[in-house]
Amino acid sequence: MSLIHRRLNRFPGLSSVNAWNFQIRDAVNRNDPAESLFLFREMKRRGVEPNNFTFPFVAKASAKLAEIAYSEMVHAHVLKSPFWSDVFVGTATVDMFVKCNCVDYAVKVFERMPERDAITWNAMLAGLCQSGHTDKAFSLFREMRLNEIPPDSVTLMTLIQSASFEKSLNLLKAIHAFGIRLGVDVQVTVANTWISTYAKCSDLDSAKSVFESIDRGDRTVVSWNSMFKAYTIFGEAFDAFCLYRLMLREEFKPDLSTFINLVASCQNPETLTQGRLIHSHAIHLGADQDIEAINTFISMYSKSGDTSSARLLFDIMPSKTCVSWTVMISGYAEKGDMDEALALFHAMTKTGVKPDLVTLLSLISGCGKFGSLEIGKWIDTRADIYGCKRDNVMVCNALIDMYSKCGSITEARDIFDNMSEKTVITWTTMIAGYALNGIFLEAFELFSKMIDLDYKPNNITFLAILQACTHSGSLEKGWEYFLMMKEVYDISPGLDHYSCMVDLFGRKGKLEEALELIRNMSAKPDAGIWGALLSACKIHRNVKIAEQAADSLLNLEPQMAAPYVEMANIYAAAGMWDGFARIRSMMKQRNIKKYPGESVIQVNGKNHTFTVGERGHVENEVIYLALKSLSLFARDEHIMHKEQSYELCWV
């Protein structure tokens, strides 16, 4: 208080409103909204009445704080003052409520304003667009036009946000066309927004053509960066790299975002070299010291399989954020090194960095993928300690997935049952869990329950339920779901769905039907689908269809050994030795080699490799004895499942 006193007394004119106004404005501009609001209260306490300039400043401060309680207070003061009808004050209030995520309040203020100008309309429009009230936004926009408020470039930018929110290409094209027809001045910023929004709406070509339409001289580094980001979204790492070279040739200076967007396009081992080049160029230009950039580089290395480079960068970075730790942890978790991931997690909490949702989710999903049930349980019991409540839908979904992948289906179901709020993903995960664990009746039951409760299944839900059908051999049920998907939910089946159906028909020996289904597909059948048909032909010894399947398969992937081997076996089983010989010579001619499959399992951090027919492991005898008893056990299980699926025929 004394500090304030001293500061206030330094301004002789502080008895006047203006002096207070400047203090309040300065605090906002210093990015100290709390101080600004404090000064406002102090001013009121001393009996100085705010004027029409005071409120917009205070509203801006409250908008920055984004606390509804403060905003309501400011609004109450506005209403009590004679300036509530002022356009500036009203617009600032609308904006304040928008920034507090209180669109309803903003609308109320907007509707009561006796006078509005273009900025008021734009502010209101932004509120509706940003909060996802797209329909309301467009009806406001129509009203705006009826009131003959000419839309400007800000209006246009605001509307683009709604297209971005809806991820609707049609909407975006409509707004783009509208902008062109209206002749709104095309500033670079507008063009840059077109680029990134086209990319978000999955239209890379339009993004490219907008970029190319900007005059060379008008392009800014943001234009280039937006293009890199676009290529990254589409996974076009090489195009991004070529564009970067062009950028340098045209003597543009890359900035931090350039590197962040550019290196983000390198996500797999094939692009590792390119990622390295970009990283070294960033070092060369001194753009490798920023924490966010380093995080992106670490992510690039670990996703490309170069964990040691990732770790090196991680270890030498001077300070680490939650993202840095999370990127490194998920690098290990995705690779299956759960022990190292967990060790790093401990180190993270020890350092005092609080894990966030992403940290937990990547750990949990790693446990599921690699069957680390113990670690998974450990994280589960501590989830709320680390700031992620166990009632968080995403955490619960991940836990259901983890438990069911580890075979603990009852624990998965327990979480499912205790969730206060479920999404389609929750249901899908649970159904997939049952399918994976061979508990098909539950999967089907859950699916109908889900529909009874008015959840709308999506393409992944249908994939899960079709997989349940495939694994239980329930052809009729599968066909029913397949039709339901198209006819009731208007979801066109993807390659995976077709693959399931081909598998189902194939296993039942209905090879003609399977082939017919493939022929009627709208999309081009992929290797998985032909492969499913081919292995079905092998079971049911149908040489004719097998030849077609193998033929299509070899057209798609001529270097893949499996179809040759499969086909050769089919010929052999049918006693067609000339066919067999033809395949063998084809393999020889095309230099196709079949490597025996390997199976790797990690025990206590050591890799153990097994190949077909090989008995070289030190503990060979124990292992194969255990394996034998397991397969006897599995046979019993199998019979049980078969009975279960017979039951289904009566349902």
Partner DNA sequence: CCACAAGCGT
Shortest distance, position 229 Cβ to DNA, whole Å: 5
Per-residue DSSP letters for 257-297? HHHHHHHTT--SGGGHHHHHHHHHHHHHTT----HHHHHHH
> Would you count residue 23 as binding DNA (CB under 7 A)?
no
Instruction: Evaluate whether 437 touches 467 at the Cβ level (below 8 Å).
Output: no
Which of 27, 92, 383, 546 is in the footprint of DNA by CB under 7 A? 92
Give the Cα separation of 335 and 625 in Å (integer): 30
CB under 7 A: which stretch of 135-143, 171-179, 223-231, 297-305 binds DNA? 223-231
Binding mask 364-403 for DNA (x = CB under 7 A): ----------------------------------------
CB under 7 A: which stretch of 104-112, 120-128, 281-289, 363-371 binds DNA? 120-128
DSSP state of 459: H
Shortest distance, position 187 Cβ to DNA, whole Å: 6
Shortest distance, position 204 Cβ to DNA, whole Å: 14
Shortest distance, position 2 Cβ to DNA, whole Å: 24
Q: What residues does 602 pair with on adjacent strands?
A: 607
- Residue with token string 């509307």: 159
SS3 600: strand
How many CB atoms are closer than 10 A to CB 615?
A: 10
Give the Cα separation of 307 and 639 in Å (integer): 44
Task: Provide the token pair at 605.
Answer: 């951090």
Per-residue DSSP letters for 554-568? HHH-TT-HHHHHHHH
Shortest distance, position 221 Cβ to DNA, whole Å: 6
Shortest distance, position 406 Cβ to DNA, whole Å: 34
> Would you count residue 609 as binding DNA (CB under 7 A)?
no
By CB under 7 A, how many residues form the interface with DNA? 57
CA 275 to chain centre: 22
Shortest distance, position 356 Cβ to DNA, whole Å: 17
CB under 7 A: which stretch of 116-124, 389-397, 575-583, 629-637 binds DNA? 116-124
Per-residue DSSP letters for 12-75? GGGGSHHHHHHHHHHHHHTT-HHHHHHHHHHHHHTTPPP-TTHHHHHHHHHHHHT-HHHHHHHH
- Looking at the Cβ atoms of 59 and 436, the one nearer to DNA is 59
Convert 344-382 to b/e letters by CB count within 10 Å (16 or more is b).
bbeebbeeebebebbbbbbbbbbbbbbbbbebbbebbee
Which of 171, 222, 323, 348 is in the footprint of DNA by CB under 7 A? 222
> Would you count residue 236 as binding DNA (CB under 7 A)?
no
CB under 7 A: which stretch of 52-60, 68-76, 359-367, 582-590 binds DNA? 52-60
CB under 7 A: which stretch of 111-119, 589-597, 604-612, 618-626 binds DNA? 111-119
- Looking at the Cβ atoms of 259 and 325, the one nearer to DNA is 259
- Looking at the Cβ atoms of 158 and 302, the one nearer to DNA is 158
Task: Provide the token pair at 221.
Answer: 């580094």
- Looking at the Cβ atoms of 65 and 396, the one nearer to DNA is 65
- Looking at the Cβ atoms of 92 and 439, the one nearer to DNA is 92
Binding mask 124-163 for DNA (x = CB under 7 A): --x---x---------------------xxx--xx-xx--
Which of 8, 66, 204, 221 is in the footprint of DNA by CB under 7 A? 221
- Looking at the Cβ atoms of 252 and 489, the one nearer to DNA is 252
Q: What residues from 565 to 604 belong to the interface with DNA (CB under 7 A)?
A: none
Helix 527-540 × helix 561-573 angle, to 10°: 20
Phi, psi for 5 (deg, rounded to 5): -55, -50
CB under 7 A: which stretch of 32-40, 83-91, 489-497, 576-584 binds DNA? 83-91
Shortest distance, position 5 Cβ to DNA, whole Å: 19
Which of 27, 61, 78, 89 is in the footprint of DNA by CB under 7 A? 89
> Would you count residue 556 as binding DNA (CB under 7 A)?
no
* Helix or strand run (H / E) with residue 138: helix 134-146
Give the Cα separation of 515 and 479 in Å (integer): 15
* Helix or strand run (H / E) with residue 236: none
- Looking at the Cβ atoms of 259 and 564, the one nearer to DNA is 259
CB under 7 A: which stretch of 117-125, 344-352, 433-441, 558-566 binds DNA? 117-125
CB under 7 A: which stretch of 50-58, 104-112, 334-342, 568-576 binds DNA? 50-58
Side chain identity at 444, as an amino acid letter? Answer: F
Q: What residues from 250 to 309 belong to the interface with DNA (CB under 7 A)?
A: 255-258, 260-261
Per-residue DSSP letters for 294-335? HHHHHHHHHHTT-HHHHHHHHHH-SS--HHHHHHHHHHHHHH
Shortest distance, position 78 Cβ to DNA, whole Å: 11
What are the angstrom distances between the C-alpha of 638 and each of 42, 549, 635?
78, 29, 5
User: CB under 8 Å to 542, separation ≥6 — which residues?
Assistant: 511
Shortest distance, position 220 Cβ to DNA, whole Å: 9
Shortest distance, position 152 Cβ to DNA, whole Å: 6
Taking 3-state DSSP, the helix, strand and coil percentages for the chain, each rounded to the nearest 5, stand at 70, 0, 25
> Would you count residue 91 as binding DNA (CB under 7 A)?
yes
Q: What residues does 606 pair with on adjacent strands?
A: 603
Give the Cα separation of 142 and 199 in Å (integer): 27
- Looking at the Cβ atoms of 324 and 542, the one nearer to DNA is 324
Q: What residues from 521 to 540 belong to the interface with DNA (CB under 7 A)?
A: none
Give the Cα separation of 216 and 128 in Å (integer): 35
Q: Using alpha carbons, select from 318, 321, 302 the residue that is nearest to residue 310.
A: 302
Shortest distance, position 16 Cβ to DNA, whole Å: 6
Give the Cα separation of 535 and 511 in Å (integer): 11
Q: What residues from 463 to 482 belong to the interface with DNA (CB under 7 A)?
A: none
Residues binding DNA (CB under 7 A): 13, 16-19, 21-22, 25, 52-53, 55-57, 60, 63, 86-89, 91-92, 95, 98, 117-120, 122-123, 126, 130, 152-154, 157-158, 160-161, 164, 187, 189-190, 192-193, 196, 200, 221-222, 225-226, 229, 255-258, 260-261
